[in-house]
């Protein structure tokens, strides 16, 4: 699992009915014994009431209103809550930019929290199943890709680097200007050299503000096929390095800074809000972790019930 990859597991795994039954029985004994705040770092979030999820947990699996499949909380193929979770009781989050999630075709639907983003920010999130993805070439000056790498930059440096990408875009449209590969950025004139913070206001006035962010939803071993796709080449890459995952099935052998998809989206937006929009963060995007935080508690309690640390 990498920064934006998700190898997550829903509480009840479709492929393991016996395990699901054991988990359900275990959770029933825990209904009256919620975890303490110190045991759950996500409880500090400013979330909408999760009473609707508590009720759904007690009633068990329910039907998807579209495909009639039996699911817990939501349908991960139709991107809608199940019948026992009324849509009106699910919070919605308005995002400051659009998000595209590119999902690997072999990534199990039931093991992806990418659907959380679509459920909670339906107007701003689109999920694509690779190789069916958009062409980003003409919009690369306003799009960035969340992916770790030698050329990736931090969130606070987005505006500065997008300005350079815009210069390359203008240059490439001029017949008299030779086109170079994106890694070889055109030299910026001395009077235009500014630090990242100074570039933020000027980039806004020039229409170079970031408008879309791309996340890859796959396991670490599956990412190479997607990240090397020619349609993603030349995009500004951003890496999230300072947050640690709370994901309950973190891939062995990867740093704890490799986040699940929904965590990566959430933490990026928090940083973007503070570093780029220059506004104080007051929990505006916390509800993106509405389902994730609830499942975190359930699975943590289930492991305790089973005698696991």
Q: Are residues 86 and 104 in the same domain?
A: no
Domain span holding position 216: 93-164+208-308
- The per-residue pLDDT for range 187-217, each reduced to its tens digit, is 333 344 445 444 444 434 344 589 999 999 9
Whether residue 182 lies inside any domain: the answer is no
> Which positions ≥6 away from 106 have C-beta within 8 Å?
218, 222
Q: Are residues 274 and 215 in the same domain?
A: yes
- In which residue are the tokens 């050329």 written? 151
Asked which of 19-23, 30-34, 160-164 is least confident by mean pLDDT, the reply is: 30-34
Whether residue 56 lies inside any domain: the answer is yes
Q: Are residues 116 and 63 in the same domain?
A: no
Helix 158-172 to helix 196-205 angle (10° resolution) is 50
Q: Are residues 84 and 99 in the same domain?
A: no
Whether residue 115 lies inside any domain: the answer is yes
Confidence of residue 243 (pLDDT cuts 50, 70, 90): confident
C-alpha span between 73 and 56 (Å, rounded) = 7
Q: Are residues 86 and 218 in the same domain?
A: no
Q: Are residues 218 and 80 in the same domain?
A: no
Cβ–Cβ under 8 Å, residues 282 and 274: no
Q: Are residues 231 and 146 in the same domain?
A: yes
- The per-residue pLDDT for range 268-305, each reduced to its tens digit, is 999 999 999 999 999 999 999 999 999 988 887 777 77
Whether residue 153 lies inside any domain: the answer is yes
Q: Are residues 50 and 67 in the same domain?
A: yes
Q: Are residues 127 and 258 in the same domain?
A: yes
Q: Are residues 147 and 55 in the same domain?
A: no
Domain count, the chain: 2
Whether residue 258 lies inside any domain: the answer is yes
pLDDT surpassing 80 at residue 122: yes
Dig out the tokens for 190 from the structure.
């001395």
Measured in degrees and rounded to the nearest 5, phi and psi for residue 132 equal: -85, 85
DSSP H or E stretch at residue 98: strand 98-103
Asked which of 14-23, 97-106, 124-133, 242-251 is least confident by mean pLDDT, the reply is: 14-23
How far CA 286 is from CA of 39, 122, 163, 300, in Å, comes to: 19, 15, 30, 20
């Amino acid at each position: 699992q990498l920064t934006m990859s998700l190898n997550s597991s829903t509480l009840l795994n479709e492929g393991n009915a016996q395990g699901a039954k054991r988990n359900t029985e275990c959770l029933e004994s825990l209904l009256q014994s919620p975890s303490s705040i110190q045991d759950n770092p996500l409880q500090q979030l400013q979330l909408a009431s999760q009473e609707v999820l508590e009720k759904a947990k007690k009633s068990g699996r329910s039907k998807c209103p579209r495909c009639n499949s039996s699911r817990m909380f939501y349908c991960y193929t139709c991107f809608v809550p199940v019948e026992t979770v009324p849509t009106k009781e699910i919070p919605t989050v308005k995002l400051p930019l659009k998000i595209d999630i590119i999902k690997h075709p072999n990534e199990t639907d039931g093991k992806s929290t990418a659907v959380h983003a679509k459920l909670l920010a339906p107007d701003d999130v689109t999920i694509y199943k690779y190789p069916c993805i958009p062409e980003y070439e003409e919009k690369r000056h306003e799009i960035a890709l969340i992916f770790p790498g030698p050329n990736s930059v931090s969130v606070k440096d987005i505006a500065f680097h997008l300005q350079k990408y815009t210069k390359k875009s203008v240059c490439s449209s001029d017949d008299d200007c030779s086109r170079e590969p994106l890694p070889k950025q055109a030299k910026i004139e001395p009077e235009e050299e500014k630090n990242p913070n100074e570039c933020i206001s000027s980039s806004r006035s020039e229409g170079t503000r970031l408008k879309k962010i791309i996340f890859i939803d796959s396991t670490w071993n599956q990412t190479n096929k997607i990240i090397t796709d020619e349609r993603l080449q030349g995009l500004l890459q951003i890496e999230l390095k300072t947050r640690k995952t709370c994901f309950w099935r973190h891939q062995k052998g990867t740093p704890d800074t490799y986040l699940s998809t929904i965590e990566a989206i959430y933490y990026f937006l928090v940083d973007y809000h503070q570093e780029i929009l220059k506004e104080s963060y007051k929990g505006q995007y916390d509800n993106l972790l509405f389902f994730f935080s609830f499942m975190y508690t359930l699975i943590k309690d289930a492991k305790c019930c089973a005698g696991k640390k």
